[in-house]
Copies of this chain bind each other. A is one copy, B any other.
């Protein structure tokens, strides 16, 4: 089912208003979710809307948060999200980073007491629009085992680095630090397909290609998959995200990060508050004139796109390019939603007395 972006946007805003969000928060949260669907990252868009509502039902999401700075220097801050939607807490924090960067060249904000923040790329792009370099990271519910372990200790903990370019689109690196994102696993689960070796291990720590292994005690593997191929590096990157997002802010880290799903209870005796994010912005002109940087970015992009190909039909893909192509198509043609998501959304419509899709 393909639905136009404006129709979905209005619907999503109405759902957020229905759980008590302010108009400004409902519009912002809808913008973050829609950006994900527009960019083709279906796992982080409207597919999650019903899940946010279920967490609100359980009082684990506060729809009227008092988001505030609890500690700061001219270029650093810690923000407490008051258990609000990450979809509004993270842009609030990135806005602070941008304002600090405007004054002092750079700004860095660690966030505690938040929830799932959508796609990291949304927040990175906020900086790019100001001719800044954006950093965005978040920790997440534990699904990934460190190298040599079979215990779920880390989330898929994404990192985003976002760079403005000149005549070309910005370069947006936005990636889970696990070998495969959970969304890819969910697609395999739904379609009954096996997954490549190196994505997951079973309860005992043996490789498996069964995408359902995660539900029976298995775990995702870090980027690199095994020690020989650098899984300790994927673990190190994921640890970096966890520390910058949560140890630095006073959020929960490691296995204590609260689950994103309402049917699983948070771990007992958590060391911190909610989940954590880390957001940063650096002015390009804090290092060199913007025009010079953009000219070199364009040259960088062109040189990499023209790199020699293994398969003549497949050029090198610049980070962010597939998402931009998806966005151009979906703005025009609408957003495709799978039946399960449409069903979820129509149930929300009935519950809140909204017009269904």
Contacts and interface: CB of A to CB of B under 8 A. Distances in A.
A73 B283 contact: yes
Given A179-B224, A179-B230, A243-B300, A307 B106 contact: no
Interface residues of A, number: 88
Contact of A233 (B153, B175, B229): B175
A94 interface: no
A240 B223 CA distance: 17
A73 B229 contact: no
Contacts of A229: 179-180, 196, 198-199, 224-225, 229
A91 to B, nearest CB: 19
Interface stretch (A18-26, A144-152, A331-339): A144-152
Interface string A169-213: 001010111011000000000000000101101001100000000
A249 B282 CA distance: 13
Given A108-B106, A271-B299, A317 B180 contact: no
A133 B75 CA distance: 14
A110 interface: yes
Contacts of A159: 237
Interface string A306-322: 01111100111101000
Interface in A94-118: 104-106, 108, 110
Given A242-B300, A272-B296, A286-B76, A145 B71 contact: no
A8 B171 CA distance: 45
Contacts of A275: none
Contact of A104 (B75, B233, B240, B250): B75
B148 A317 contact: yes
Interface stretch (A9-17, A38-46, A50-58, A287-295): A287-295
A236 interface: yes
A296 B247 contact: yes
A296 B177 CA distance: 22
Contacts of A297: 243, 247
Contacts of A282: 76, 108
A196 B225 CA distance: 13
Contact of A236 (B173, B240, B283, B293): B173
Interface in A210-241: 223-225, 228-230, 232-237, 239-240
A293 B105 contact: no
A163 interface: yes
A180 B230 contact: yes
A139 B248 CA distance: 28
B75 A248 contact: no
The 6 closest A-B pairs by CB, nearest first: A73-B105, A205-B310, A76-B286, A173-B236, A76-B105, A151-B308
13 contacts: A74-B74, A76-B286, A77-B287, A78-B287, A149-B309, A161-B240, A171-B239, A175-B232, A179-B224, A196-B229, A224-B229, A239-B304, A254-B300
